[in-house]
C-alpha cells in the first residue's frame, strides 16, 4: 500500500517536473540563446543576411568568413528570405538577442532604426563620409546613419538588339518619353512586343514605377500631383495601346525577366542583378538609362543591402564588429562583393573606379547608381513603406482600369495621408 502510493507520488512529481521543465524551456528559450551568444563573446559573432541562395560553400560565405578571421573571430552566418529577415529581426529585437550584424534591404533600415534596434555608425566610430551621399541616404534617420551600403543596384532598360535593329530603332535615339514611345510603336509595327515591366502589387511594383514617377518630377510626398498623373498615364497608355502586356499587373521582376529572355520583347525594365543573365541570353542585349519625361536620365531608386549593427547589451562587441564592417567595405572588398553578386555597384567612389578598371562595360550602371535616389530619402524614413503601399495600389487600380490615373492617385494620396498620419 505504502509503496504503491510512494511510487504514485514519485510519478506525479516526475510528471509535474517534466511539465514544468517543458514550460520553463519554452519561456526561457530566448534568454538561453542570448546567454550562449554572450558567453562565446571572444570567439563567435552572429551574422544574418538575405542571401539563402549563397550556401556555406559559396564565395560570399567565404568572404564573410575571411572578414571574421581578419578580425580574429569566427562568424556564424544565417541566411533568411528578404521579407522573413525583417520579421526575424523584429522578433530578435523584442527578445533582446539580435545578432551582431544584419544585412538589411535598404527600406527596412529606417524601420528597424526607428524601433531603436540599431546602433548608429557614429556610436562606434565608423566613418561614413566616403560612401556616396545618395546611397547612404537610405540608411539615415534624423541626422544619424544606421547602416552602410555594401553595394547598390538600380534599374535601367535592357533592350533586345536584334528586335531594335529589325524595327530600325537606334537605342541612342531614346532621350525622353516621347522618343521611347515612338521607338516602341515602331517595334509594335514590326510585329514584336515593345516592353515589359513589373507592376505587381508589392514593393517591386513601386520600385519599378519610381523612375517614371520621379522622372516626371513628382514627389513621394504628393502622390496625386499633375506630374505623378503624367507618369501613371504613360504606363496605362502603354497597356491601353497594346505596347505592354496586360500581365504586367501581376508580374514580378523575375517574371518580367523571364518574358524578356523569350526574345519576344524589345525592352524590359530590370536591374543590375540581371547583367550576367542578359549576357547569357540567346540574343544580343544592351542597356539604356531610363529617360526622364523631358530628356535626361530619370532618377532611379537604389536597391541593395545595408550592413547594420543591432544594439548589443555587451558594448565591447562593437570593436570587432567595426573591424568586420571595415573589411567588408574596403575598395577591394566592395569590388569583390560586387562581382560575387553579379553585380553590385560599389558604394564608394574608390570602389566604383576599381570595378570599372576591372569591368569597363559596367559604365552605364555605375552612372545609373550615381544618379539614383534612395526610396526612404527626403527624410521619408519609416513613412516610405506606407506611401509605397498606397502608390502600388494606385498603379494597380489605374492599369487594371478600375480607376483613371488621376482618380487612382487621388485615392492613393488619401490612403498615404491616412496611413502616415497615425
Partner 1 sequence: MTSLRTTGTVAVGGAAHAAPPRRRARRRARRWTAFAFLAPLIVYLVVFYSYPLYRNIELSVHDYTPRAFVQGNPEFTGLENYLDILADDTFLRALRSTAVFTLASIAAQYAIGLALAVFFHRHFRLSAALRAMFLVPWLLPLIVSASTWSWMLNSENGIVNAALQAFGIGQINWLTSPDTSLLAVTIANIWLGVPFNLVILYAGLQNIPADLYEAAGLDGAGPWQRFRRITFPLLRPVSLITLLLGLIYTLKVVDIIWIMTRGGPADASTTLAIWSYREAFGTGQPDFSPAAAVGNLLILIAFAAGLVHVRLQRGEDRA
How far is it, in rounded angstroms, from Cα 253 to Cα 256? 5
Kindly state whether residue 112 participates in binding partner 1, applying the rule CB under 8 A: yes
State which residue, 254 or 276, has the beta carbon closest to partner 1. 254
CB count within 10 Å of CB 142 equals: 11
Question: Given the rule CB under 8 A, which of 9-17, 44-52, 314-322, 334-342 is the region that contacts partner 1?
Answer: 9-17
Kindly state whether residue 11 participates in binding partner 1, applying the rule CB under 8 A: yes
Neighbouring C-alpha atoms within 13 Å toward the C-beta of 307:
24
State which residue, 199 or 216, has the beta carbon closest to partner 1. 199
Contact 416, 409 (CB under 8 A): no
Kindly state whether residue 237 participates in binding partner 1, applying the rule CB under 8 A: no
Kindly state whether residue 382 participates in binding partner 1, applying the rule CB under 8 A: yes
State which residue, 246 or 315, has the beta carbon closest to partner 1. 246
How far is it, in rounded angstroms, from Cα 411 to Cα 415? 6
Beta-carbon contacts of residue 9 (< 8 Å; ≥ 6 apart): none
- Helix extents (H) in 104-223: 106-114, 133-136, 161-167, 177-189, 203-215
Contact 337, 344 (CB under 8 A): yes
In 3D space, the residue among 147, 51, 39 whose CA is nearest the CA of residue 101 turns out to be 147
Contact 380, 307 (CB under 8 A): no
Kindly state whether residue 86 participates in binding partner 1, applying the rule CB under 8 A: yes
Q: How many helices (H) and strands (E) does the chain have?
A: 17, 11
Kindly state whether residue 23 participates in binding partner 1, applying the rule CB under 8 A: yes
Q: What Å distances lie between residue 74 and 42, 48, 70, 305, 327, CA to CA? A: 9, 14, 9, 22, 14
Minimum distance from residue 28 beta carbon to partner 1 (Å):
13
Kindly state whether residue 19 participates in binding partner 1, applying the rule CB under 8 A: yes
Name which position in 22, 56, 178, 279 contacts partner 1 (CB under 8 A): 22
In 3D space, the residue among 149, 174, 409 whose CA is nearest the CA of residue 288 turns out to be 174
How far is it, in rounded angstroms, from Cα 168 to Cα 100? 55
State which residue, 169 or 395, has the beta carbon closest to partner 1. 395
Name which position in 150, 184, 200, 266 contacts partner 1 (CB under 8 A): 200
Question: Given the rule CB under 8 A, which of 31-39, 126-134, 270-278, 395-403 is the region that contacts partner 1?
Answer: 395-403
Contact 104, 89 (CB under 8 A): yes
Tell me the site size for partner 1, rule CB under 8 A.
52
Kindly state whether residue 31 participates in binding partner 1, applying the rule CB under 8 A: no
Kindly state whether residue 191 participates in binding partner 1, applying the rule CB under 8 A: no
Kindly state whether residue 178 participates in binding partner 1, applying the rule CB under 8 A: no
Minimum distance from residue 354 beta carbon to partner 1 (Å):
32
Name which position in 228, 232, 249, 345 contacts partner 1 (CB under 8 A): 249
In DSSP terms, 105 is beta-bridged to 305
In 3D space, the residue among 386, 389, 346 whose CA is nearest the CA of residue 369 turns out to be 346
Question: Given the rule CB under 8 A, which of 70-78, 83-91, 316-324, 343-351 is the region that contacts partner 1?
Answer: 83-91
Contact 98, 312 (CB under 8 A): yes
Positive or negative, the Cα torsion across 222, 223, 229, 235? positive
Name which position in 202, 227, 339, 353 contacts partner 1 (CB under 8 A): 202
Residues 132 to 161: which contact partner 1 by CB under 8 A?
none
Name which position in 399, 405, 409, 413 contacts partner 1 (CB under 8 A): 399
State which residue, 39 or 402, has the beta carbon closest to partner 1. 402
Residue 341: helix, strand or coil by DSSP?
coil
Name which position in 24, 87, 122, 173 contacts partner 1 (CB under 8 A): 87
Residues contributing to the site for partner 1 (CB under 8 A): 1, 5, 8-9, 11-12, 15-16, 18-19, 22-23, 26, 83, 86-87, 90, 93-94, 107-108, 111-112, 114-117, 200-203, 245-250, 382, 384-386, 388-389, 393, 396-397, 399-403, 408
Amino acid at each position: 500500500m505504502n509503496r504503491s502510493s510512494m511510487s504514485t507520488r514519485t510519478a506525479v512529481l516526475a510528471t509535474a517536473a517534466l511539465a514544468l521543465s517543458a514550460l520553463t524551456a519554452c519561456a526561457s528559450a530566448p534568454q538561453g540563446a542570448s546567454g550562449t551568444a554572450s558567453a562565446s563573446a571572444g570567439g563567435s559573432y552572429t551574422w544574418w543576411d538575405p542571401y539563402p541562395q549563397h550556401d556555406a560553400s559559396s564565395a560570399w560565405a567565404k568572404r564573410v568568413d575571411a572578414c571574421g578571421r581578419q578580425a580574429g573571430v569566427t562568424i556564424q552566418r544565417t541566411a533568411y528570405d528578404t521579407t522573413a529577415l525583417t520579421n526575424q529581426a523584429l522578433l530578435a529585437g523584442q527578445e533582446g538577442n539580435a545578432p551582431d550584424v544584419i544585412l538589411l534591404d535598404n527600406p527596412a533600415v529606417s524601420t528597424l532604426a526607428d524601433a531603436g534596434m540599431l546602433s548608429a555608425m557614429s556610436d562606434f566610430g565608423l566613418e561614413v563620409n566616403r560612401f556616396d551621399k545618395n546611397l547612404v541616404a537610405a540608411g539615415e534617420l534624423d541626422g544619424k546613419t544606421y547602416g552602410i551600403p555594401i553595394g547598390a543596384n538600380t534599374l535601367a532598360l535592357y533592350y533586345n538588339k536584334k528586335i531594335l535593329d529589325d524595327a530600325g530603332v537606334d537605342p541612342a535615339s531614346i532621350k525622353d518619353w516621347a522618343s521611347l514611345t515612338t521607338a516602341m510603336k515602331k517595334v509594335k509595327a514590326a510585329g514584336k512586343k515593345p516592353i515589359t515591366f513589373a507592376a505587381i502589387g508589392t514593393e517591386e511594383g513601386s520600385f519599378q514605377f519610381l523612375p517614371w514617377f520621379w522622372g516626371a518630377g513628382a514627389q513621394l510626398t504628393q502622390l496625386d500631383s499633375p506630374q505623378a498623373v503624367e507618369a501613371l498615364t504613360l504606363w496605362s497608355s502603354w497597356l491601353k495601346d497594346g505596347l505592354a502586356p496586360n500581365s504586367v499587373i501581376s508580374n514580378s521582376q523575375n517574371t518580367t525577366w523571364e518574358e524578356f529572355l523569350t526574345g519576344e520583347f524589345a525592352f524590359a525594365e530590370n536591374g543590375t542583378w540581371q547583367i550576367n543573365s542578359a549576357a547569357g541570353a540567346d540574343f544580343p542585349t544592351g542597356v539604356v538609362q531610363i529617360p526622364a519625361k523631358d530628356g535626361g536620365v530619370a532618377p532611379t531608386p537604389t536597391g541593395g543591402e545595408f550592413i547594420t549593427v543591432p544594439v548589443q547589451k555587451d558594448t565591447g562587441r562593437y570593436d570587432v564588429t567595426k573591424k568586420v564592417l571595415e573589411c567588408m567595405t574596403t575598395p577591394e572588398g566592395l569590388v569583390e562583393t560586387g562581382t560575387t553578386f553579379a553585380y553590385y555597384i560599389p558604394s564608394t567612389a574608390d570602389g566604383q573606379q576599381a570595378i570599372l578598371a576591372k569591368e569597363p562595360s559596367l559604365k552605364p550602371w555605375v552612372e545609373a547608381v550615381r544618379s539614383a535616389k534612395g526610396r526612404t530619402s527626403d527624410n521619408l524614413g519609416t513613412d516610405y513603406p506606407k506611401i509605397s503601399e498606397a502608390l502600388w495600389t494606385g498603379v494597380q487600380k489605374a492599369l487594371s482600369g478600375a480607376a483613371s490615373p488621376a482618380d487612382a492617385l487621388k485615392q492613393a494620396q488619401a490612403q498615404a495621408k491616412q496611413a502616415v498620419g497615425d
